[in-house]
Structure 1
């Protein structure tokens, strides 16, 4: 392994350089996955991606981020293996029932609708094939047991096809803004992570690695603050092209990665034009997307609520949407909003609670403080506190930080 500089101290000027690089990097994103909901927690089993420590020239963290910023990969094809371990409870088949309901009557009534189909990527292990030829032609295929789901962007047209049900979804690129872009590649995750770089963050070069047979540098991003559920983020950056090839997010609690995304095979040759051609198969049921661009982004969605892992788009004290506000700084930022519903979660013994109230309550931890009482729902990355007075506090922070924020709120 070549000795690579590891700048554990990131000063104010360096932070600004990192931000400049981050902003430039956004211009060169190859939008491999093009529409649908933001599935921000998918990845690759580490053992499948890494092999060997190549001998590469020394590079600083600032230079490596600039390398990402200058990357201008327009054509690629490859395979991405994905795995997510949020530590969600086993709902005993409830997920399958909900997915079935979405396919039959939810969304647009089509199993090919990416809004519902690609939510499957939020848990478990999956294999994706991706291809891109510039900003107007991309394809993502989700390989399943005995079936395949494909999402194709070809010029103005966006197609979704579910081979298992022979269902087709058709929309236009104008119907799907960047807010609905599916985060499915290491590049997508890296762009989000780099938004969190500020003076609460340590950024270093952590040696070298091989990913999908290509030499790469490892960029290590670590919060300086305690109380966050994020332990570290590692990004493997292709030494030649500057394209992120692998992304790993480990929790502060230790154990397996929460998110681990990377290529097992990648080529930068121009994909065949036929890759992006699609004609609905004979007998397929075609569902047209009748949404307008304004509706596609979702009604009442808090601005920046799903942006980044740490500081994100909003700044502390910002308000957006329906009373959405950000408390705290950096990786300890907490989003809060008022649902307007008093009494918290429905109680199994209370009026109208029934089995649903008891079930929801069993998934969370009961907490209390100066704010009153509430329930905390936890994953290995994001935790949320629902108070009995109708307020919600959400962040990549531990339970005690949520309670502290609720106690300090006016």
Structure 2
């Protein structure tokens, strides 16, 4: 193992580049209960995990150099298998996931092949993904299920979702607004700030998660190199990110970075409370060869029900089918700014202890039990914890990472922070 005995903190970091996304869903389309589920699912977009299977002997490298290596990586062609393990402490969402997700995006088209219908399913349990990319205009992610498969294909301006279980197809168009040429959407070589940046695509790979985690590098964060590992048969360095602030639920994030290409191969988020990783995402097999062109071809199968989503090509970067992949604007990004969200959205605090706050305008708090009805009522009851303070009364919905306080007068406070921190923020807002 290479000798990494000294702490080597990165003073700043930019966002590594990734292939272009489609559009991002607007928060205003989420009902309050669906927002809570979305917040839990969104943790997948900011965290990841590391499990090593060897300690290769690699040249010493500093944390800043390793961050720069990630930022400089220009790999746009790859294929492989990714394993996602998520333990947010949520109950089994079962059919509730599809019920909430189906109306959350895409204009509420209700197709089981709508990408939004799959988001909350990834918030619990273990999943295997097959992924492939060939430049900015061709990506494919397949979620392998028991005797079934869900595929999301981006090929040029077309975006297809196909659910083999229901034989349903969802079709919409990608957003070309603001798309930059390959290699242009990177931070500067010094790791500071952003370069030109276009849309990006959530491909389900560790790199997507690293981009969020690396936004944390700054004065509220310790970034170190902690030895080496072997992931999917490739030698890698281990980059460890730890918050310096109190009040956050995040313990540490580990990122395995391919020594040859600079591509993140595996991630781990461990909570401050200890125990198993909250999210573990990593390649089990990877190739950086050009995928076959046929990988990205798609024709709706005979007899499939095809749902056409709204044409998003001219609606701007914030309102397409795939951008961000998950509602990340509900979460304050450590060291960064939240995306566009509900009107009046503000961020209280900074770094890892930042809390996003907004007013839904919905009075009367969150319905529970028989008021909500069915599976949704049981789900809310399993997460909800009644609290009170100077702000009045409300309900805290908790996971092992992200907590959200919804007050009885319709205000929402959410972040990767403790319940007490949310109550304090609500009290201060009165």
Contact 1:45 1:82 in 2 (8 A): no
Which secondary structure state, in structure 2, belongs to the residue aligned with residue 195 of structure 1? helix
| Cα gap change, 1:138 to 1:100, in 2 (>3 Å) | closer
Alpha-carbon distance in 2 for matches of 1:346, 1:201? 38
Aligned to 1:166: 167
> 1:372/1:306 Cα in 2 relative to 1: closer, same or farther (>3 Å)?
closer
Partner of 1:3: 3
Distance 1:230 1:269, change over 3 A: same
2:269 maps to 1:210: no
Q: Secondary structure at the match of 2:175?
A: helix
C-alpha distance in structure 2 between counterparts of 1:221 and 1:45, whole Å: 11
* Contact 2:365-2:408 at 8 Å conserved across structures: yes
| Equivalenced residues, count | 387
Shift in alpha-carbon separation, 1:244–1:368, aligned structure 2, 3 A = same
> Partner of 1:109 in structure 2?
110
Which of 242-251 and 172-181 deviates more?
Answer: 172-181
Tell me how far 1:311 sits from its aligned partner: 3.5
Q: What's the CA shift for 1:229?
A: 0.4
Alignment equivalent of 2:394, drawn from 374, 385, 396: 374
Q: Which runs of 5+ in 1 are unaligned?
A: none
Tell me how far apart the structure 2 counterparts of residues 183 and 306 of structure 1 sit (CA, whole Å). 20
Q: Equivalences for 1:322-341 in 2 at 5 Å?
A: 322-341=343-362
Query: Which residue number corresponds to residue 245 of structure 1?
Result: 265
Higher relative contact order (CA 8 A, sep 6+): 2
Alignment partner, residue 185 of structure 1: 205
In 2, distance between residues paired with 1:348 and 1:117? Answer: 25
Conservation of the 8 A alpha-carbon contact between 2:19 and 2:201: no
Query: Residue by residue, what CA displacement relative to the aligned partner does 1:226-258 show, whole Å, maximum 9, x if unpaired?
Result: 110000000000000000000111111111111
Alpha-carbon distance, 1:306 to partner: 4.0
Residue 214 of structure 2 corresponds to which residue in structure 1?
Answer: 194
Computing the radius of gyration from Cα coordinates, the structure with the larger value is 1
Moved more, 169-178 or 231-240: 169-178
State the distance in 2 between where 1:257 and 1:229 align.
12
Mapped to 2, the partners of 1:393 and 1:143 lie a distance apart of 35
* Aligned position for 2:57: 55
- Contact 2:2-2:57 at 8 Å conserved across structures: yes
Q: Give TM-score, length-normalised by structure 2.
A: 0.80
Q: Is the 8 A contact 1:34 1:138 kept in 2?
A: no
* Structure 2 Cα separation of the partners of residues 160 and 265 of structure 1: 24
The verdict on how the C-alpha distance between 1:233 and 1:362 changes in structure 2, with shifts beyond 3 A counting, is: closer
Q: CA deviation at 1:2?
A: 1.2
Instruction: Extract unaligned runs of 5+ from structure 2.
Output: 26-37, 179-197
**What's the CA shift for 1:119?**
3.4
Distance 1:62 1:5, change over 3 A: farther
- Checking the alignment, whether the CA contact within 8 Å between 1:148 and 1:163 is kept in structure 2 is yes
Structure 1 residues 112 and 320, CA gap change in structure 2 (3 angstroms): closer
Matched, 1:151 2:152: yes
Distance 1:374 1:100 in 2: 25
Superposed CA RMSD in Å reads 3.4
